[in-house]
Amino acid sequence: MSSTAEQLLDSLDERGDTSGPWMLKLYDTCTADPSVAVELVLLRARGDERLIHETMRIVIGLVPFLELPKLVEAVLGEAERAENLDPAIEMLEMIAEQSPEAFHHVLARYFEVAVRFMSADYLLQRSSSQLSVPWARTGKLHFEFLKQQIKTGDERRKGLAWYALLRCGYRKAYDHARVPLNMPPFKPLVLHDILMDVGIAGDYKPLHTEEPLYMVYEIELARRDTPMPGNPDFSDVVGRRDATFNPPERLPHKYPFGGALDVTCGMCRKPLHRMMRLDPVPETLSKVCMLKKLDLATCYSCSGWIEGILYFCHDDAGELTDPWTRRTREAKPEWPSAPIVPTTVTLGRADARWNVLSPFMGNQDRVGGPPVWVQQANYPSCPSCSQEMRFIAQLGRDDYPTTDGGHVQFGSGGSLYAFWCDKCRVSANFWQCT
């Protein structure tokens, strides 16, 4: 008799189309019996490709958090036996996103598997730094081991150890890794890219906080209807059950969202569009913004069309006073936008396993926490002090209605990212899309 997991996979239609009802069945079956989710992950790690990549993220999300270390061991076992490491590594990377801690008891074993997976040119690719995610939050625990690998290992061992040193959250390890080594992957440009991925800059300055707060709209004006590739009904069926859309713990405040400001855009001269007004600035952002309140705005007509990154000056009360640059000639945006319908949002917390999301997963409308990059990680430099700015908020849904019946969207499946320099009181924002 075939297992429940196999029956589930057998019930997929010929095209492997994970339609809404099928996703619901997956969700309900795995919730009632998480061992089904575990088995689906193991089947995939052995090379069963009937479920697409993004669906596997959901499946892993249905494995109880405390079961993840055991799952890591099982997938590692598969990897150690396998000729082709790709499917097992894919699963390990997804588990690592939700819980680096699930690897901490088997990092020596994982190191061997990851090194086997790396090729010399893989080392040069920025995605290879993803293999080092399991060392996140290990602090100084593996510092000696990693240092030793850099001293005596071959190129691949050196490479992986180097990424892990940058990733582990230990100042001395970071300093050690920043010493340029005489190897091709350790060129300054690669170092810069990896540091952007990890979210640290210069003198060990974190560029984002750890814990995101998820936006919940007073009225459900913002839809998240970007269909996931191969999963058109994802947002309807599973998306709304997600803890990031329904955070169990909410802050007491209501934050104004949308609408317009009195200040005009430096490009098109129309009133700037409010993203949101952080009044008060949440406690979780105390290391990013010392001000008590902060008004974040952009121009949905000009952002990304007339100018890539928009910068704004604020006074010491956090009010937006001026665009950083005001062009002498008025810009004529091709697609002028009205403000988003004004409403309020509350901010909520969810389980830490969702802190690092991937695009197309969960609620990407967040304040603080790690940004969910649609493209390469990119923290803009402050136009005043040239230091990297810190991430402060992201809008990542697909369709925000505007006061004239239109809507704001950031290309296809895109996100708007906002940043802050506390020293200069400058905010910035730009968007990326797929």
Among 268, 296, 310, 428, indicate the residue that binds Zn ion (CB under 5 A). Answer: 268
Per-residue binding string, Zn ion, 269-308, x by CB under 5 A, is ------------------------------x-xx------
Question: Closest CB to Zn ion among 240 and 269?
Answer: 269
Question: Closest CB to Zn ion among 150 and 424?
Answer: 424
Kindly give the interhelix angle for 34-45 and 20-32, rounded to the nearest 10 degrees: 110
Question: Closest CB to Zn ion among 266 and 370?
Answer: 266
**What dihedral angle (degrees, nearest 10) is formed by the CA atoms of 264, 267, 270, 274?**
-60
Question: Closest CB to Zn ion among 344 and 387?
Answer: 387
For residue 92, what is the enclosing H or E element?
A: helix 86-98
Question: Closest CB to Zn ion among 196 and 421?
Answer: 421
Report 171-210 residues binding Zn ion (CB under 5 A): none
Total residues at interface with Zn ion (CB under 5 A): 12
The span of 140-148, 151-159, 255-263, 378-386 binding Zn ion (CB under 5 A) equals: 378-386
CA 25, chain centre distance (Å):
27
For residue 262, what is the enclosing H or E element?
A: strand 260-264
Among 267, 281, 296, 392, indicate the residue that binds Zn ion (CB under 5 A). Answer: 267
Concatenated DSSP letters of 165-234:
HHHS--HHHHHHHHSPPSSGGG-HHHHHHHHHHHTEETTTEESS-S--EEEEESS--SB---PBTTBTTH
Among 339, 421, 428, 429, indicate the residue that binds Zn ion (CB under 5 A). Answer: 421
The region that residue 146 occupies, defined by phi over 0 for left and psi between -120 and 50 for alpha, beta otherwise, is alpha
**Which three-class secondary structure state does DSSP give residue 401?**
strand
Q: Does 5 bind Zn ion (CB under 5 A)?
A: no
Q: Does 237 bind Zn ion (CB under 5 A)?
A: no
Alpha carbon distance 153, 159 (integer Å) = 9
Question: Closest CB to Zn ion among 62 and 299?
Answer: 299
The span of 27-35, 182-190, 262-270, 307-315 binding Zn ion (CB under 5 A) equals: 262-270
| Closest separation in Å from C-beta 65 to Zn ion | 38
Alpha carbon distance 217, 344 (integer Å) = 6
Report 27-66 residues binding Zn ion (CB under 5 A): none
Q: Both tokens of residue 360? A: 């197309």
Among 5, 9, 265, 341, indicate the residue that binds Zn ion (CB under 5 A). Answer: 265
| Closest separation in Å from C-beta 420 to Zn ion | 9
| Closest separation in Å from C-beta 324 to Zn ion | 11
Alpha carbon distance 151, 323 (integer Å) = 50
Q: Does 424 bind Zn ion (CB under 5 A)?
A: yes
The span of 59-67, 72-80, 261-269, 391-399 binding Zn ion (CB under 5 A) equals: 261-269
Amino acid in the structure at residue 392: I
The span of 65-73, 93-101, 238-246, 268-276 binding Zn ion (CB under 5 A) equals: 268-276
Q: Does 384 bind Zn ion (CB under 5 A)?
A: yes
283 CB burial (10 A radius; 0-12, 13-18, 19+): exposed
The span of 37-45, 176-184, 395-403, 423-431 binding Zn ion (CB under 5 A) equals: 423-431
| CB-based contact 155:183 (threshold 8 Å) | yes
Query: Applying CB under 5 A, which residues contact Zn ion?
Result: 265, 267-268, 299, 301-302, 382, 384-385, 421, 423-424
